[in-house]
Chain A
């Protein structure tokens, strides 16, 4: 069977499972709940303190980034919980045994599972992200610097964690693999914050820590991208008499988006990780 056809079968199976097991409906419900709560919360905020000037806009942006941070955590957890049992436990339970005896390569099974879960999570991240930004704009009139890019960065971060968890799932028990993926995500975020602080304070050690973290697990690169995209425009900052460098030490501010090389590295990292996962799964005893 051609690889693409086999990958499509497994991806379709994964999507059907997500629908049948109510993962998709749960995410849809959460999305609506998040949008409604965001609109309500920000409208209350705007009622208490009308967003009329740049200082209020910066304040709204910080709350929005905080909200995005919590949302990115939810996305990361969803990715890890969905991907950790995707391969290994299905082999151990015998579920994949009958399928692997068909004319299908193990790598295609892994890629199909990854593709199916990616579609579910990317759609969730984009729909929920745009709804949140729309709700905030409706309630407060605040539109971040890059409203289109922000959910894309969050979706990218989710893909990185999904990839990490699914690679772990080829060899490590789902609980252990999921736990390691979550800890790695947290460490990468913290290292990224330290890297930002290092940039502001001109500390090579901290900058180096951030760099290494971004190379090893590029989830924070994309998180920093979404922070930048949700931050106020430079004009708003200038109008408020704020200097971006002062805000740089905040984990909820980024003065620039990730460069094209870093974005390219994210793509390379995902491809390389999937290649490692394919090899690990191919050589695994079933």
Chain B
């Protein structure tokens, strides 16, 4: 369970992709938008979204409630039309009906025909996705196994818990090995085990070369599975962060006593400093330089009580960008962090790095 067949990092559908629409874009970006804007009357839901999602990457789309994330997803899927701007999905213009064959989608508001069994819902989507009828039994069996619903496959979906319905939605999204999978808050109804399952599935998709567009406001969830992240607020991207770069952004926190000014002058030679309570934080310092920093601090008359290495978490970056107080120590996944994101309502002027 939870391992996708053929997770080999090779593009197994490459031949089909090359033969299908947008063949010339097979190596182009999976998603590309330029100044995409969406207005609902006077309300601006998206104020000029420009981003590029590369093929085969797991791309996180992060932002507080009301940032325009779900509107962006609907634009990408052609469920709504942009007021301005343009974009391409898998090489075809936004809204191209045929491209939807190659895209899987789990909506934030997931609901399926309650009078149907999970097996029937999956069969319906096999038909809608125009998969060859001979492939349906295999596709359905794999999807059911993958999302852990094999033993409830013949029960009506209206008897499912919310979490099980979300699992069914995930199974629906993965039918036919789509080249791009768009997941809109895929773990909102899942328990911790279910969330872990989703992370494994996303990992398997990455191994298979599938592009995953993950819309979420759960920072640590995104941090764990994504290759890159776009942080959006008020309808626009305020930052794009590579997770590899982020994890390299290290620092150190020191608890010292003694002459404050002298210690800070010494520390500033190793990187930007900031005082956080009784701690002095030095950002960007290489691990190898930490002993030298400690020696110099001692030489300058400071008493060093503690040295704690830190790395910047996505949450730190997110909070820094969106104006909430950073919390350098909060690297662990927590619902409180998600709540903090969800409840943020205002902040100072945005930064575009």
Interface residues of A (CB under 8 A from B): 1, 6, 9, 13, 17, 20-21, 93-95, 97-105, 285-286
Q: Nearest Cβ distance between residue B78 and chain A, in whole angstroms?
A: 8
Type the 1/0 row for B99-126, where 1 means its CB is closer than 8 Å to any CB of A: 1110101110111110110000000110
The answer to whether B109 and A101 have CB atoms under 8 Å apart is: no
B336 interface hit (Cβ, 8 Å) = no
15 more A-B residue pairs beyond the given contacts A101-B107, A103-B100, A103-B129, with a C-beta to C-beta distance below 8 A: A1-B97, A13-B124, A17-B115, A20-B116, A21-B115, A97-B111, A98-B105, A98-B110, A98-B112, A98-B125, A99-B125, A100-B79, A102-B100, A103-B99, A105-B97
Residue of A nearest to B111 (CB): A94
* A101 partner, pick from B77, B98, B116, beta carbons under 8 A: B77
Residues of B within 8 A of A9 (CB): 124, 127-128
B130 interface hit (Cβ, 8 Å) = yes
Type the 1/0 row for B58-88, where 1 means its CB is closer than 8 Å to any CB of A: 0000000000000000100111100000000
Q: A17-B115, A95-B112, A286-B74 are in contact. Are A101 and B103 (CB under 8 A)?
A: yes
Alpha-carbon distance between A102 and B97 when the two chains are bound, in angstroms: 8
B230 interface hit (Cβ, 8 Å) = no
B91 interface hit (Cβ, 8 Å) = no
Residues of B within 8 A of A97 (CB): 79, 107, 109, 111
Residue of A nearest to B109 (CB): A94
Q: A94-B107, A101-B79, A286-B80 are in contact. Are A17 and B113 (CB under 8 A)?
A: yes
The answer to whether A103 and B97 have CB atoms under 8 Å apart is: yes
Residue of B nearest to A5 (CB): B130
B36 interface hit (Cβ, 8 Å) = no
Residues of B within 8 A of A99 (CB): 125, 128
The answer to whether A98 and B127 have CB atoms under 8 Å apart is: no
Q: Nearest Cβ distance between residue B125 and chain A, in whole angstroms?
A: 7
B297 interface hit (Cβ, 8 Å) = no
Residue of B nearest to A94 (CB): B109
Q: Nearest Cβ distance between residue B76 and chain A, in whole angstroms?
A: 10
Alpha-carbon distance between A9 and B172 when the two chains are bound, in angstroms: 17
Alpha-carbon distance between A242 and B130 when the two chains are bound, in angstroms: 64
* B98 partner, pick from A94, A103, A286, beta carbons under 8 A: A103
Alpha-carbon distance between A196 and B163 when the two chains are bound, in angstroms: 60
The answer to whether B130 and A285 have CB atoms under 8 Å apart is: no
Q: List 13 A-B contacts (CB under 8 A).
A: A1-B97, A6-B128, A20-B116, A94-B107, A94-B111, A95-B112, A98-B106, A98-B110, A102-B101, A102-B129, A103-B97, A103-B101, A103-B129
Main secondary structure, interface of A, reads loop
Alpha-carbon distance between A100 and B73 when the two chains are bound, in angstroms: 13
Q: Nearest Cβ distance between residue B215 and chain A, in whole angstroms?
A: 14
Q: 6 tightest A-B contacts by CB?
A: A94-B109, A102-B128, A94-B111, A101-B105, A103-B100, A20-B115
Residues of A within 8 A of B110 (CB): 94, 98
The answer to whether B111 and A93 have CB atoms under 8 Å apart is: yes
Alpha-carbon distance between A99 and B80 when the two chains are bound, in angstroms: 14
Residues of B within 8 A of A20 (CB): 115-116
Residues of A within 8 A of B129 (CB): 102-103
B251 interface hit (Cβ, 8 Å) = no
Alpha-carbon distance between A286 and B80 when the two chains are bound, in angstroms: 7
Alpha-carbon distance between A285 and B113 when the two chains are bound, in angstroms: 21
Residues of A within 8 A of B78 (CB): 101
Residues of B within 8 A of A103 (CB): 97-101, 128-130
Interface residues of B in 110-154 (CB under 8 A from A): 110-113, 115-116, 124-125, 127-130
Q: Nearest Cβ distance between residue B171 and chain A, in whole angstroms?
A: 11
Q: A103-B101, A104-B97 are in contact. Are A286 and B79 (CB under 8 A)?
A: yes
Residues of A within 8 A of B127 (CB): 9
Residues of A within 8 A of B130 (CB): 1, 103
Residue of A nearest to B105 (CB): A101
The answer to whether A98 and B172 have CB atoms under 8 Å apart is: yes
Alpha-carbon distance between A99 and B98 when the two chains are bound, in angstroms: 14
Residue of A nearest to B74 (CB): A286
Residues of B within 8 A of A21 (CB): 115
Q: Nearest Cβ distance between residue B132 and chain A, in whole angstroms?
A: 14
B203 interface hit (Cβ, 8 Å) = no
Residues of A within 8 A of B77 (CB): 101
The answer to whether A104 and B80 have CB atoms under 8 Å apart is: no
